[in-house]
Amino acid sequence: MPSDAEPRGLPLTYLEAGEQVGGTPLLVLHGLFGSARNWQTIARRLGERHHVYALDLRNHGGSPWAPTMSYPEMAADLLRFLDDRGFARAAVVGHSMGGKAAMMLALAHPGRVERLVVADIAPVAYTHSHAPYVAAMKAARLEGCSRRSEVDAQLAAGVPDPSLRAFLMQNLVQENGRFHWRINLDALAAGMDALIGFPDVGTARYDGPTLFIGGGRSDYITPDHAPAIARHFPSARTEMVADAGHWVHAERPEAFVTLLEGFL
């Protein structure tokens, strides 16, 4: 049972694939502003050989909202997911924010992670911030909008990249004729420093098999990050996918799945 220092996590929603496949379950964790639905196609592919659970992390998708958004809390949510289903261990794949949550779980509870895959993120603090995107979404006036294009037009000034705007707009839902965001923008704004950072884990390490997959056009995994990766994940190897940016799994899905399946 969790101690007072490690409270029981939130119950996360998920998409499931490969229900008839035995063996160690495979958890798939999305990045900031994402959801399990972003991984649906890859989850189906992986479901041919693995029992896959693509999770909605806290304050995202259909999972519960909470006022705080830290990696230790996300690791506690993942631990609860495993405990609630009686899973002793799982293989874990995480992209960006989900990759940091996966790393935190492996470092805090190494015995519960059989294998670890981290997509385009390192166990370090970054200097960039996604706060402007949160601010743009919070500033959009949803009251009175009847079409998604009206909200999209409001985001254009703060989020000029159409592809990024389309990604953020996946979080816009309409119920009973009214639009609302299905992500907890207040929690993301309050927790942004923690999200772009990484907890001080001291000398903690995960010795299990670990694969880092980076995008060749991304700057989220660079040679400068190698010491931090080696310090906390001494068994890790890194593979870079050419002609891919930060969303390596979406931009080069075949190359990504090939690397992933070979490792798993």
Q: What are the boundaries of each domain within the chain?
A: 14-126+197-263, 131-190
Catalytic entry in 96, 120, 225, 249 = 96
For residue 246, indicate whether it is catalytic: yes
**Cβ proximity of 228 and 104 under 8 Å:** no
Tell me the pLDDT tens digit for each residue of 221-261: 999 999 999 999 999 999 999 999 999 999 999 999 999 99
Confidence of residue 4 (pLDDT cuts 50, 70, 90): very low
CA atoms within 13 A on the CB side of 58: 25
Q: 50: how many CB neighbours lie within 10 A of its CB? A: 23
Which superfamily is assigned to 14-126+197-263 in CATH?
Alpha/Beta hydrolase fold, catalytic domain (3.40.50.1820)
Query: Looking at residue 3, what is its pLDDT?
Result: 43
Catalytic entry in 51, 232, 246, 249 = 246
For residue 96, indicate whether it is catalytic: yes
Catalytic entry in 70, 109, 186, 219 = 186
Nearest Cα residue to 210 out of 144, 105, 87, 116:
116
Query: Looking at residue 22, what is its pLDDT?
Result: 83
* Cα separation, 220 vs 124, whole angstroms: 10
pTM for the structure as a whole: 0.95
For residue 84, indicate whether it is catalytic: no
For residue 7, pLDDT beyond 90: no
Query: Looking at residue 146, what is its pLDDT?
Result: 94
Confidence of residue 128 (pLDDT cuts 50, 70, 90): confident
Confidence of residue 2 (pLDDT cuts 50, 70, 90): very low
Query: Looking at residue 6, what is its pLDDT?
Result: 55
